Structure 1
Amino acid sequence: MRVRTYVGPSDPTGLHRVLDERVVLPQAAERLDTRRELWPDEVRIRVERLNLDAASFRQLERTHDGPDGVRRAVLDIVAARGKMQNPETGSGGMLVGTVEEVGPDSPLGLEVGDRVATLVSLTLTPLVIEDGLAGWDGRSEQVPCDGYAVLFGRSIAARIPDDLRADLSLAVMDVCGAPALTRRVVESYDAPRVVVIGGAGKSGSLSLAAARDAGATTVGVVPTEAEAALLREADLADEVVVSDARDPIALRDAVGKAADVTVVCVDVPGCEGGAILSTAPGGTVVFFSMATSFSAAALGAEGLAADVTMLVGNGYVPGHAAYALSLLRAHQGVRDLFLRRLA
């Protein structure tokens, strides 16, 4: 690959950091410029912790030899691409760190010393790892890390609240788009039935809480009796269903009455058909999983003559971070599920 050297002012999308020969946005780029020096509208973050998205981490676990292999894979990806973007899933995650330099024209409102979580994907964030991930055991999505990252003019970051642990805040903010969009969709229906596939996970538990707060009857789908017990204890779902979401007929039958809104929050592929079959005509399916095949979803709905609206959860809704944190504070069951995952 030939490298294109950008000459000129910065672009708020980060175009000036793209090193590909062709003009693409940072997320589509093969490699990003990771130089420490900032353009005027950029911010540099001293990285404290990465949070790999669940689909990416599971894929790395499946395809590499133990925790050391996973660690090497992450280091290799970041070194090769100048960002954390799993080449198989296309996804990355987010990070927590401290602002160490702010360009004079940055519109983000951050100050040196602010402790923040980035609310944009690692797939488009210039990143350098400087400690070889020596503090990470390779067994968790949360990755202790020393290095730096760069935010652009159109990036998003939120200050870490003082009343929550940093790892807990990071875990919530990693999926904060899910409950915000879930609530927006649920509020467009009159007393809907909402099915959340992967209801005991991070985005799933927050989505259940958001749906219940919006007046929905909630159904949580989990793959095992152990997760069902956790979800019942959390008291977030009016009904808990145990089913393999990759088996579309089994999922449809287990859910029973079709949902007005189905929210897919699992980190495994192959759940598109079951989600569509579990949704009533005129209903909505929201896909938050990075393991989703959107071609399979579109063609599957067509093949089933399913009159459903399908939405891609893009991770951003105005006010999403504050809303997700408010759900964590208000619902002890959500908090307990998150703390259990972190433990």
Structure 2
Amino acid sequence: MIDRRGGTEAGLHRVLEPAGVLPQAALRLDASPRIGPDEVRVRVERLNLDAASYRQLHTAHGGDPDAIRAAVLEIITTRGKMHNPVTGSGGMLVGTVAEAGPDSPLGLKPGDRIATLVSLTLTPLAVTDGLARWDGRSEQIPAEGHAILFARSIAAVLPDDLPVPLALAVMDVCGAPALTHRVVAGYAAPSVAVLGAAGKSGTLALAAARRAGAARVVGLVPSEREEKALLATGLADQVVRADARDPVAVAAAIGAPVDVTVVCVDVPGCEHGAILATAPGGTVVFFSMATSFPAAALGAEGLAADVTMLIGNGYVPGHAEMALDLVRSIPAVRASFTARTGADSAQ
């Protein structure tokens, strides 16, 4: 029986251990399907692991799809949520509303097909099919089961004009372009660099920076293949190649320090290069679950770098709508996402 005597708005009543923490910090959640008055139960169709989590699992298990599948299933079964204990990250999901409590403020009704815009690290989740339809080779996981949304959760009804895999991939990183736009718009014709520019969040960040009035947009990628692919999109004025974990190489590749640096790299160790690449008075936006706060803070101090550093929290009002509009209105952005998610007609 779930104790609903307090904290239901934020999901505190679903925390099994340790006592007194919010769901994201919990070791285990109660994912039982019976909902409270302000909760929503979602029938799960597809999970989307965040890039850092999938990369870690892939590396840890040598790319063995069966081992990756077993690891994800073990995490969900043990923790009552998809919360990678190594990266601390999760992802999000697509599903159909099965039941909405009478006091839920989310405006959802049974039958709505939605994407959750809150992390799986705080979403009670149970799967019933053993992830049998997932080949373990991509971040998107066909799944059956249920998830619970709280009063303070966020969800968006899926658009009718975009394939589900495409919409899910976009919504998974929709906080990145929204915050990038907000930061870039605060400068007068700034220069912007995006590290990890060929990825999902990087592609959207490039487009958002341009829309916000950036005068110069630089995309940094790690390989010749990504360099060629990004050059073909025309989303960046300049595409440079360097290992984002090598601070000196990053600064040299970008050249003149930029006003805004956006970090979208899904591996650790990219903090110092971003700081070195940013001009005094500039801003660094970290959009990676692999970011280390101590490395960023102490690195900036050690370099006497007068930069503002922001941790992208994945939520900016209107973020889903902005990201979807970038995909709809900029063919190169849509093509980039379609290349990642498969056929553009998949539902």
TM-score class, shorter-chain normalisation, is over 0.9
Aligned residue for 1:25? 22
CA distance in 1, matches of 2:8, 2:2: 14
Aligned residue for 2:48? 51
Aligned residue for 2:345? none
Aligned residue for 2:253? 254
Aligned residue for 2:71? 73
CA distance in 2, matches of 1:5, 1:11: 10
Q: 1:114 aligned to 2:112? A: yes
| Amino acid corresponding to residue 172 of structure 1 in structure 2 | V
CA distance in 1, matches of 2:186, 2:50: 29
CA distance in 2, matches of 1:9, 1:27: 17
How far 1:330 sits from its partner (Å)?
1.0
Q: 1:83 aligned to 2:81? A: yes
Gaps of 5+ in 2: 343-347
Q: Write the mapping of 1:1-343 to structure 2, written as runs, cut at 5 A.
A: 6-9=3-6, 11-65=8-62, 66-216=64-214, 217-343=216-342
CA distance in 1, matches of 2:140, 2:72: 12
How far 1:6 sits from its partner (Å)?
2.9
* Structure 1 SS opposite 2:28: coil
The percentage of counterpart residues that share the same residue type is 68
| Amino acid corresponding to residue 119 of structure 1 in structure 2 | L
How far 1:10 sits from its partner (Å)?
5.5
* Structure 2 SS opposite 1:19: strand
Cα RMSD (Å): 1.1
Report Cα offsets for 1:47-82 as digits up to 9, x if no partner. Answer: 000000000000001111411110000000000000
How far 1:21 sits from its partner (Å)?
4.2
CA distance in 1, matches of 2:12, 2:206: 37
1:281–1:21 distance in 2 versus 1, CA, 3 Å: closer
What is the TM-score of this pair, normalised by structure 2?
Answer: 0.96
Q: Is the 8 A contact 2:41 2:149 kept in 1?
A: yes
Q: Is the 8 A contact 1:10 1:39 kept in 2?
A: no
The number of equivalent residue pairs is: 340
Gaps of 5+ in 1: none
How far 1:84 sits from its partner (Å)?
0.2
How far 1:18 sits from its partner (Å)?
0.5
| Amino acid corresponding to residue 131 of structure 1 in structure 2 | D
Runs of 4+ in structure 1 displaced over 2 angstroms? 4-7
What is the TM-score of this pair, normalised by structure 1?
Answer: 0.98
How far 1:11 sits from its partner (Å)?
1.6
CA distance in 1, matches of 2:83, 2:157: 24
CA distance in 2, matches of 1:153, 1:255: 44
Report Cα offsets for 1:99-140 as digits up to 9, x if no partner. Answer: 000001110000100000000000000000100000000010
Higher deviation after alignment, 7-16 or 255-264: 7-16
